[in-house]
Amino acid sequence: MNKRIISPPWLIALLLAAPVGVGLAGAILPAFGYLPALGGDTVSLQPFRDLLNEPGIGTSVALSVASGLLTTFVSVVGVAIFLAAFFGTRTFRLARQSLAPLLAVPHAAAAFGLLFLIAPSGLVFRLAAFALGFDRPPDLLIVGDPFALSMMAALVAKEMPFLLLVAFAALPQADAEQRMRLARSLGYGRIAGFVLAVWPSVYRQIRLPIVAVAAFASSVVDVALILGPSTPAPLAVRLLGWMGDPDLAMRFQASAGAMLQLGATLFVIAVWLAGERAMGWTCRCLAHTGRRFAEDRVARDLAAVPVALSGAAVFLGLAMLLMWSVSGFWGFPDLLPRSFDLTTWRRALAGASGPLWTTFVVALAAALLALILVIALLEGHRRRFPAARGGEVRLPSTIAGLLYLPLIVPQISFVFGLQVLILAVGLTPSIPLLIAVHLVFVAPYAALALADPWFALDPRYERVAASLGRSRMSVFARVRLPMLTAPVLTALAIGLAVSVGQYLPTVLVGAGRLPTITTEAVALASGGNRRIIGAYALLQTLLPFLAFAASGLVPILLWRHRRGMRAG
């Protein structure tokens, strides 16, 4: 076998991608009726027939497809027009600083926050009642609406800041300032100049995160349980119900549904990529017309609306979670509770100590292991190509594809297969097993956060240290790692936040025996007790927030006498 194939970067990428392949195999076989442990000894299409006979299955698939496409489209367009209108301005710098904390907010917490804002008795209608004078909540189906609009709104509110921050990181490689100066010199307006000259280069760099957003939105479970419709529910939610059905024969139908979900997600990605080509062709045709669109003041003023609404929804949602968690009686249409107390927090902390500890242990272990593996992968690749150190270095597309595979394949399609295989080999739910499953999802995000800073570090620092007689390991430990303290800690914080937010892998692999703060918070959604929901959702946000705060403060304290190191 070729040495390159068995090099450490390849081994690490294969190790992280293997659970996806194994999980898909564990779902494909029962989907065709083969699962000897449950009496399935022959290959059959009966599971697919049963699946297609389920009432409303077509609507469930349509909801999943629409969620993937619309959420991604709105998020990408919002990011593109914001960057086009405000690149290089004070608003751009303010957004860059203020949106970063939103990464610490898990999807479920953001969904609960939006629930408290847009529900008929939420803040939006309380403000409307104050202005218009009505005294009872309107009879409107907003949460759980049949078109899943509230669910998509929550996804957009969470994904738009993520894509915007990814785009911020891609702008320096796009020569944005130079291209914008050239566009302005040719008479183009700010928006048209950015869209035609800068955005194509930025888009190529953030295509993978965009595809990951499309895949996630088409198969999301926790946000759909909180805000999505239930008659029928999106496909992923129905799959979760079949997987937990007391009738074990439903595992066959659930496996067929997992394959259908995989097909739906691949369809979403294919449509998106086709639309991407169509949009590129449209932009080229627009450029060939010679129109400059110099008068774009109104468009620039409106361009901030999507990002502003997204950020405001998350921040105001967190404020509402806090208000409800400390409120006494809070009747409609009062804007503030009539009293405040900490009774809810005392109850929540007493009941959440176990799940909170499990969450912390699993998240920290998964994030640390992911960081070690990602650093080994990146450093292994960097050392194999020393001639490229002075230039732009990127992971080979094949290794990157393996590493990011868990972000593209819907969780429910292969985690269920992993659950089936885990049960088949006789493994029982445990903390190490849960850490291993979380690692599959944490590592890709850690790699996304760390790869560019890792390869961008000027190699001359290490060459100077090597010329002074330092060993390779000493140079790595005393030069590279200290200089990359901030990116390494940021990658660790992102990994911890991703692990904390994992709902589906925890429910399926933990089998209900290893509850985390996320699974407990989502389980409370059906109860309707807003006070306890607010407390649990804030506890879910606490660990990621502390991790991001530490990632920002530790470099400042560690290098307080070296300003350049603090900035790195």
Query: For residue 7, with 0-12 CB atoms within 10 Å meaning exposed, 13-18 middle and 19 or more buried, which class applies?
Result: middle
pTM of the model: 0.89
Range 296-312 average pLDDT: 85
For residue 7, the model assigns a pLDDT of 65
What is the identity of the amino acid at 536? Y
* Range with lowest mean pLDDT among 83-92, 197-206, 289-298, 428-437: 289-298
- The answer to whether 377 and 447 are in contact (CB under 8 A) is yes
Range 332-348 average pLDDT: 86
Residue 278 has pLDDT above 70, yes or no: yes
Residue 238 has pLDDT above 70, yes or no: yes
For residue 265, the model assigns a pLDDT of 94
At 562, the pLDDT band (50, 70, 90 cuts) reads low
- The more confident residue out of 536 and 511 is 536
Backbone angles phi, psi at 34, to 5 degrees: -105, 105
Residue 353 has pLDDT above 90, yes or no: no
Provide the mean pLDDT of the chain.
Answer: 85
At 79, the pLDDT band (50, 70, 90 cuts) reads very high
Give the length of the chain: 568
Report the b/e string of 155-170 with b at 16+ CB within 10 A: bbbbbbbbbbbbbbeb
- The answer to whether 432 and 359 are in contact (CB under 8 A) is no
Residue 389 has pLDDT above 60, yes or no: no
- Which structure tokens are listed for 314? 């998350």
User: How many C-beta atoms lie closer than 10 Å to residue 123's C-beta?
Assistant: 17
Backbone angles phi, psi at 187, to 5 degrees: 90, 5
Q: How far is Cα 257 from Cα 238, in angstroms, rounded to an integer?
A: 9
- The more confident residue out of 293 and 17 is 17
Q: How far is Cα 406 from Cα 414, in angstroms, rounded to an integer?
A: 9
Range 166-179 average pLDDT: 83
Determine the distance from the C-alpha atom of residue 269 to the mean position of all C-alpha atoms in its chain, rounded to a whole number.
16
- Which residues are registered as beta bridge partners of 184? none
For residue 118, the model assigns a pLDDT of 92
Q: 34 in helix, strand or coil?
A: strand
- The more confident residue out of 102 and 395 is 102
Q: How far is Cα 98 from Cα 320, in angstroms, rounded to an integer?
A: 19
